[in-house]
Amino acid sequence: MNAIDKAPAPGAALRLISGNHACALGAVAAGCRFFAGYPITPSSEVAERLSRLLPEVDGVFVQMEDEIASIAAVIGASMGGVKALTATSGPGFSLKQENIGYAAGAEIPCVIVNVMRGGPSTGMPTRPSQSDIMQSRWGSHGDYPMIVLAPASVREIYTETIRAFYLAETCRTPVVLLYDQVIAQLTETVELSDGENRAPAERKWASGPRETYRPYAADEDGIPAMSRPGAGYRVHTTGLTHGENGFPTQNPEAVARNLGRLFTKFERHREAIDSWETLGCEDADVVIVAIGISARAAMRAIDIARAKGLRLGLFRPITLWPFPEKALRDATAGAHAVLVPEMNAGQLRLEVERILGSQRVHGLHRYDGEAISPEEIAARAQALAREKTT
Amino acid sequence: MKSLMRDTRIEIRIGGTGGQGLILCAKMLADALCTAGKHVAQSQTYEPTSRGGYCNSDLIISDREVDYPLATALDCLVLLDRMAVKPSWALLKPGALVIADTRLCPELPEGNYRVHHLPLSRTAIELGSERVANIVALGALAALGTLCERKALEQAVRADTPKSFLDINLDALSAGHRLGKQTAPLPA
């Protein structure tokens, strides 16, 4: 095994690793001990790396027969008490949606990596895209809450993978890690130190008398305690609408109580969930809102524009869903235009327009499999600034 | 990643077709630069057909964390197939270094660049395998581009080469280095 496959040592120096590789390392650092997946470009390196890393830490790696079986196995492993991960790309993400809804409804912690490639359908396997922004939030039927994290660098894939497990376990929810092909297969020098590792997240386990345990009864934090397998608590898990006892019900009062709690269960945890970065927004005339490779292009566009006297800023949601609304409002308060460059036909723009209104918000969209360049963003921002002054 | 200052950055592209080892070649160079304390970002463009389709591997080198990791203006272009010329030529900076294989990339467009036409693949064939043309190119690039110490590059080649290819890869690196040292740029 290559030396770079080892987990980072404390205070490690610069290392060269790819985004998908960083995801695998982050998963192991977070305590993930089960992976089930089916190879798909451009996410396969996550599986490839974990097939080597997991056996070394007494974990389990399974290459399943298909995408649906993969997410099903991950949900099963998590119900068995193990931190579990699957990784896929758009076509596989579509196939997994029914079971992602199951995990959301039955409140089974798990992490799903979706590396975005060109779509729709099988699309462009080796070309980047950012067109699963809405699917990652709304992909399964029915109402349900979802946490989606959108890292923009190799280093951030590592730290956000660890955070994904933390949030999945503590909020009892599936968490999607969403990044594009460029970042996934980008190899960058990174400094990974132990300082970034939180203590591995612990799920809230059931304790107390077995007779009164109710698997979907929650206290103030909105998160029901899970029973550790074999602990002797009576548990029932179903995709059907259920009451606090876990058994199916269509009783309006019981349904409303449980779903009401489900829809609002992140509210008390927003401090841990919300994450974003701002760059130069304080004095910006035009603020860019972007994720992934488009955000990396925006960082360079800021330099290009500022060298020409245009004050450009960047708001980058790291937690994409739930969207950090207030932070966006604050960051764009002084800007007369907001520009959303994204590799799709306008998905992130739709959310930004919902929050800010459509008047100031403009899109810059590419869906030809090419990343949006810093020069394109800078030129568009300059045009917007000119429109304002004329 | 957080920076409002413009970085000094160098952009290198190795272009050719899938199966030529372009990504491996860029990774070896990236490894050597990383050891020397440089920040690098290495990306690639490839087709679903893993052999024969257009492929390139890009390397951004910086003294700081790289902001935008993809190529926008090339300081250096290595060409191992004619297929790679068109997608990259427009990205060349004036005066950029171009290293092209004489056999696989015989004709190049005009331009104000430092062009070196070198027998990279022919040298590889003479060494015993066309498959090491990527390492010959790496040697030539290192000599012409003065990017890193030869020893660091040799270390990277050793680390990333399977045993059965080690001798021929090291020979290829030396041969490429000699080609690079001996050549003078074609008149622009």
Confidence of residue A12 (pLDDT cuts 50, 70, 90): low
Q: Which two tokens stand for residue A249?
A: 């019900």
Cα B182 to chain centroid, rounded: 18
CA–CA min distance A214, chain B (Å): 47
User: If you search the block for the tokens 């993809």, which residue do you land on?
Assistant: B70
Peptide bond into A322 cis (omega under 30): yes
Taking the Cβ of residue A293 and every Cβ of chain B, the question of whether any pair is shorter than 8 Å is answered with yes
Q: Are A354 and A134 in contact (CB under 8 A)?
A: no
Q: Mean pLDDT throughout A358-367? A: 97
Beta strands in A262-360 (DSSP E): 276-279, 286-289, 312-317, 319-321, 337-342
Q: Which positions in chain B touch A152 (Cβ < 8 Å)?
A: 1
Range of weakest confidence among A32-46, A263-277, A302-316, B48-62: B48-62
Mutate to test the interface with A, among B54, B61, B67, B74 (most CBs of A within 10 A): B67
Closest to A151 in 3D by CA, of A142, A141, A140, A163: A163
d(CA B55, CA B14) in angstroms, rounded, equals 9
Q: What is the pLDDT of residue A225?
A: 97
Q: Which two tokens stand for residue A213?
A: 């345990």
One DSSP character per residue, A186-201 reads: -EEEE---GGGPPPPP
A195, pLDDT greater than 70 = no
A8, pLDDT greater than 60 = no
> What percentage of residues in chain B have a pLDDT greater than 90?
81
Q: What is the pLDDT of residue B184?
A: 80
Q: What is the pLDDT of residue B75?
A: 95
CA–CA min distance B58, chain A (Å): 10
Q: What is the pLDDT of residue A3?
A: 36
Q: Which fold has domain A277-389?
A: Rossmann fold (3.40.50)
Nearest to B67 among A280, A300, A373 (CB): A300
Q: Chain B residue closest to A41 (CA)?
A: B48
Q: Which residues of chain B have pLDDT under 70?
A: 1-7, 50, 188
A258, pLDDT greater than 80 = yes
Options 3.30.420.40, 3.90.1150.10, 3.40.47.10, 3.40.50.970; CATH of A8-196: 3.40.50.970
Query: Going from the N-terminus, what domains does chain B have, and what CATH number goes with each?
Result: 9-180 (3.40.920.10)
Closest to A46 in 3D by CA, of A75, A23, A15, A62: A23
A5, pLDDT greater than 50 = no
Contacts of A211 (CB under 8 A, 6+ apart): none
Query: What is the radius of gyration, based on Cα positions, of chain A?
Result: 21
Q: Which residues of B touch chain A, with CB atoms under 8 Å apart?
A: 1-6, 27, 30-31, 34, 37-48, 65-70, 72, 159
Alpha helices for chain B (secondary structure H)? 22-35, 85-89, 120-127, 133-145, 150-159, 163-182
Q: Are A27 and A61 in contact (CB under 8 A)?
A: no
Q: Which positions in chain B touch A185 (Cβ < 8 Å)?
A: 43-44
Taking the Cβ of residue A1 and every Cβ of chain B, the question of whether any pair is shorter than 8 Å is answered with no
Q: Chain A residue closest to B65 (CA)?
A: A189
Q: Mean pLDDT throughout A213-241? A: 95
Across the interface, whether the CB atoms of B34 and A14 are under 8 A apart is answered yes
* Domain edges within chain A: 8-196, 277-389
Tens digit of each residue's pLDDT (9 = 90 or more) over A277-307: 999 999 999 999 999 999 999 999 999 999 9
Q: Which two tokens stand for residue A298?
A: 């925006």
Tens digit of each residue's pLDDT (9 = 90 or more) over A138-151: 999 999 999 999 99
Q: Chain A residue closest to B29 (CA)?
A: A16
Q: Which positions in chain A touch B64 (Cβ < 8 Å)?
A: none
Confidence of residue A241 (pLDDT cuts 50, 70, 90): very high
Confidence of residue A46 (pLDDT cuts 50, 70, 90): very high
CA–CA min distance B106, chain A (Å): 28
Contacts of A167 (CB under 8 A, 6+ apart): A147, A149, A173, A175, A201, A269, A272, A273
Tens digit of each residue's pLDDT (9 = 90 or more) over A66-101: 999 999 999 999 999 999 999 999 999 999 999 999
Closest to B58 in 3D by CA, of B106, B10, B121, B115: B10
Query: What is the radius of gyration, based on Cα positions, of chain B?
Result: 15
Q: What is the pLDDT of residue A334?
A: 96
CB atoms within 10 A of CB A191: 15
d(CA B176, CA B188) in angstroms, rounded, equals 23
Residue type, A157: I
Taking the Cβ of residue A310 and every Cβ of chain B, the question of whether any pair is shorter than 8 Å is answered with no
Q: How many CB pairs under 8 A join A and B?
A: 82
Mutate to test the interface with B, among A187, A302, A308, A373 (most CBs of B within 10 A): A187
Across the interface, whether the CB atoms of B43 and A126 are under 8 A apart is answered no
Alpha helices for A107-215 (secondary structure H)? 133-138, 154-171, 181-185
d(CA B126, CA B77) in angstroms, rounded, equals 24
Nearest to B41 among A152, A186, A277 (CB): A186
Q: What is the pLDDT of residue B3?
A: 35
Across the interface, whether the CB atoms of A16 and B34 are under 8 A apart is answered yes
SS3 (DSSP) at B179: helix
Tens digit of each residue's pLDDT (9 = 90 or more) over A124-177: 999 999 999 999 999 999 999 999 999 999 999 999 999 999 999 999 999 999
Measured CA to CA in angstroms, residue A101 lies from A113, A140, A258, A383, B39 at distances of: 15, 5, 15, 43, 41
Q: What is the pLDDT of residue A13?
A: 67
Q: What is the pLDDT of residue A166?
A: 96
Q: Chain B residue closest to A155 (CA)?
A: B1
Peptide bond into A120 cis (omega under 30): yes
ipTM: 0.91
CA–CA min distance B170, chain A (Å): 19
Contacts of A372 (CB under 8 A, 6+ apart): A293, A294, A297, A341, A342, A343, A364, A366
Mutate to test the interface with A, among B1, B42, B58, B61 (most CBs of A within 10 A): B1
> What percentage of residues in chain A have a pLDDT greater than 70?
94
Q: Mean pLDDT throughout A303-331? A: 97
Nearest to A296 among B6, B67, B159 (CB): B67
Tens digit of each residue's pLDDT (9 = 90 or more) over A325-356: 999 999 999 999 999 999 999 999 999 999 99
Confidence of residue A199 (pLDDT cuts 50, 70, 90): low
Contacts of A342 (CB under 8 A, 6+ apart): A130, A133, A290, A291, A294, A348, A349, A363, A364, A365, A372
Torsion, Cα of A237, A241, A243, A247 (10° steps): -40
SS3 (DSSP) at A261: helix
> For all residues of chain A together, what is the average pLDDT?
94
d(CA A4, CA A2) in angstroms, rounded, equals 5
Q: Are A144 and A174 in contact (CB under 8 A)?
A: no
Q: What is the pLDDT of residue A314?
A: 98
CB atoms within 10 A of CB B122: 16
> What percentage of residues in chain A have a pLDDT greater than 90?
92
